[in-house]
Amino acid sequence: MPPLAERNLFHDKVRLAVTLTGIVFAVVLIVVELGLFVGFMKTTSNLIDHSNADLWVTSINVPYVEQGVPFSERKLYQVRAIPGVQDAEKYISDWVEWKRPDGRQETVQIVGMDIDKDMGLPWNLVQGKLGDLKRPDAIFVDEVYKEKLGATHIGQIVEINHRRARIVGFTRGIRAFTTSPYVFTMFKRAQDYARLPENQTTYILVKVAPGAEINEVRREILAQVKDVQVVTSAEFSHMTQFYWMFTTGAGIAVLLAAVLGLVVGFVVVAQTIYATTVDHLKEFGTLKAMGAPNSYVYRVITRQAAISAVIGYVLGMIVSAFVVHASQGGGAPIELPLPMAIGMFFLTLTMCIGAGMISISKVTRLDPAMVFKG
């Protein structure tokens, strides 16, 4: 086939630039909106997804991780005694008040764990060492929230619920979906900051022994430990995401923005691809008049759309990568996981070819007089 589709595209550089700009705009818009949605989703369940636990034991009807309800530590020993449990540890997540150096109060989420175990630990530590948390009053905060918390340096003394705390390390990129940043510390200290009685915890994290069946262990815990809810990490993650994204309505707005991004992106792509096809309407009419079946004309239009999609996608993803990178330092993370990047390719292809199909109807209904008039 003579390269009609390629030539139609590349012959008019200005038209090509307009077409590609439209597609790049659409790709970036959709990536940003979907990336924000994914980012927020992941943010809501950060603690759970990084917990390295197989099961979470909570009070009954706890809907999401921030809403932990204290229960007796004695249940920890009951859980540990259940066959198939390799390890079980206490874990606290609770709201507390943080006093900034200028006296202003901020609500934070205190997170307490046993740092000698490998469950529920903070991650992405960029300053300080995990062992530093064993020092008196030691806490970690995330550098994203330095300004919000008035945290400036290692060794800084702050106040949490009227108790002394010392910043001994900073993590990077551990965002909270709410406006309350996470503050990591040892379990006992978290208990103290949260003013929980000494024999209480909000969660028990469970590691299942190799070879043991998770659901079997869960059934055993439920059978032997009273008044608890036992969920896998995946389930608790999903529950937490669902709560914040859909029950509160916060996520609906983000989701609507993502859907809007898709719609606007499609409209922009449809408009540009349509205009590209309409530019060559007379040529398609000539092709048909000369005896080209509709399928031949469709192939040319589809090929044009597919080439535009591939180039637009590549350029769009380059721009998106910069946007995603730039967002990492801010409070609103944009995520671009590989499956989403792959999905975007097929979405771009579908949008462009779909838009081409819309313009095809125009070609199908060509007035023959148009072909004969110069």
Partner 1 sequence: MQPAIAVREVTKTYTEGSASVTALRGIDLDVHAGEVVMLMGPSGSGKTTLLSIMGCILASTGGSVRIAGIEVTQLREKELPRVRLEHIGFVFQGFNLFPTLTAGENVELMLDLKKEPQAAAKKRAQELLENVGLAEKYKSFPADLSGGQKQRIAIARALACDPEIVLADEPTAALDSHTGKNVMQMLADLAHKRDRAVVIVTHDPRVLEFADRTIRIEDGLVAGYSAKKPSSAISEFYPAVGAAAEPAEVRGV
Positions touching partner 1 (CB under 8 A) are: 1-4, 7-8, 11, 282-283, 286-294, 296, 368-369, 371-374
**Nearer CB in complex with partner 1: 5/88:** 5
Closest distance to partner 1 from the beta carbon of 306 (Å) = 17
Which residues lie below 8 Å from residue 130, measured CB to CB, with a gap of 6+?
Answer: 115, 121, 122, 169
**Nearer CB in complex with partner 1: 200/302:** 302
113, two tokens: 């764990």
**Nearer CB in complex with partner 1: 8/46:** 8
Closest distance to partner 1 from the beta carbon of 4 (Å) = 6
**Nearer CB in complex with partner 1: 3/101:** 3
**Nearer CB in complex with partner 1: 16/212:** 16
Closest distance to partner 1 from the beta carbon of 362 (Å) = 17
Helices marked H in the chain: 4-11, 13-44, 46-49, 74-80, 146-149, 187-193, 214-224, 233-242, 250-279, 281-290, 294-327, 338-364, 368-372
- The Cβ of residue 88 has, within 10 Å, a number of other Cβ atoms equal to 25
**Nearer CB in complex with partner 1: 293/337:** 293
132, two tokens: 């530093």
Find the largest Cα–Cα distance for the chain.
92
Do 104 and 123 meet the contact criterion of CB atoms below 8 Å apart? no
Which residues lie below 8 Å from residue 21, measured CB to CB, with a gap of 6+?
Answer: 272
Helices marked H in 161-213: 187-193
Closest distance to partner 1 from the beta carbon of 280 (Å) = 8
- The residue type at 325: H
**Nearer CB in complex with partner 1: 101/293:** 293
Q: d(Cα 73, Cα 193) in Å, to the nearest integer?
A: 17
Closest distance to partner 1 from the beta carbon of 279 (Å) = 11
Closest distance to partner 1 from the beta carbon of 243 (Å) = 56
Beta strands in 143-201 (DSSP E): 157-160, 163-171, 182-186, 200-201
Which residues lie below 8 Å from residue 183, measured CB to CB, with a gap of 6+?
Answer: 96, 98, 108, 109, 110, 111, 139, 140, 141, 160, 165
Closest distance to partner 1 from the beta carbon of 287 (Å) = 8
177: three-class secondary structure by DSSP: coil
**Nearer CB in complex with partner 1: 251/285:** 285
352, two tokens: 């462009």
Closest distance to partner 1 from the beta carbon of 290 (Å) = 6
292, two tokens: 């080209």
**Nearer CB in complex with partner 1: 153/373:** 373
**Nearer CB in complex with partner 1: 135/362:** 362
Closest distance to partner 1 from the beta carbon of 311 (Å) = 17
Closest to 43 (Cα-Cα) out of 286, 313, 307, 332: 332
Orientation angle between helical segments 281-290 and 250-279, nearest 10 degrees: 60
Closest distance to partner 1 from the beta carbon of 368 (Å) = 4
Do 57 and 225 meet the contact criterion of CB atoms below 8 Å apart? yes
